[in-house]
Amino acid sequence: MSAFWHDFGALFAFALVASITPGPNNTMLAASGLNHGFRRTLPHMLGVAVGFVFMVGLVGIGLGSVFDRLPALYQVLKYVSAAYLLWLAWKIATAAGGGGAAGAGRPIGFFQAAGFQWVNPKAWIIAIGVVSAYTPREDFLVNLAIASAICGVVTVPAVSLWAGFGSAMRRFLSRPAVLRGFNLAMALLLVASLYPLVQEAVR
């Protein structure tokens, strides 16, 4: 057990901080919890966790090296990510609330949330960090499986807090004008999450 904590203790801390801090996933989950309730947001939460675990595994196996060989593909992914996040921000900002949607009239589903990880800049940064900085090189595939599992175990309660926060706010944001304000604030946070991409583009 001491060897396990020596190898992966820092990963627990990194994964917790990375998964619980504001970002596209958590902003969307808070908005979904508010607009649809905690129970209807469960597929979204599980999709985030499973999709991210799958991403960490594939990045570790070698997907990250594809971008080293094809840097243009990485640039395309960045712009697709930015466009998709802006579209999601618009959907959240215009959500009706109280059964309206943070995306097309219904909660985001499991597969949509899992697929979203591949256009989520924060997820890419975290996944690459997990593999490059927190996965021991010896017995790499075994350690990669453990690291991926740790990310899943930490992500589920972290994203649940954000969905729970949004759901808890329903009773306080029953007035349409206040609800629209909350959705607009979540949309602006989602747009603000694009700042690292914009900063990199203007360098």
State in Å, rounded, how far the first CA of the chain is from the last one.
45
User: Mean pLDDT over residues 81-95, rounded?
Assistant: 76
For residue 101, what pLDDT is reported? Answer: 38
Q: From 164, 142, 194, select the one nearest 26 (Cα to Cα).
A: 164
For residue 194, what pLDDT is reported? Answer: 66
| pTM across the whole model | 0.76
Whether 54 shows a pLDDT value over 70: the answer reads yes
Residues, the chain: 203
More confident residue, 130 or 183: 130
Could you give phi then psi for residue 96, rounded to 5 degrees?
A: -75, -30
**Half-sphere CA count of 91, side-chain side, radius 13 A:** 20
Place of tokens 């570790």: 60
Domain boundaries of the chain, sorted by first residue: 44-202
Place of tokens 């944001």: 173
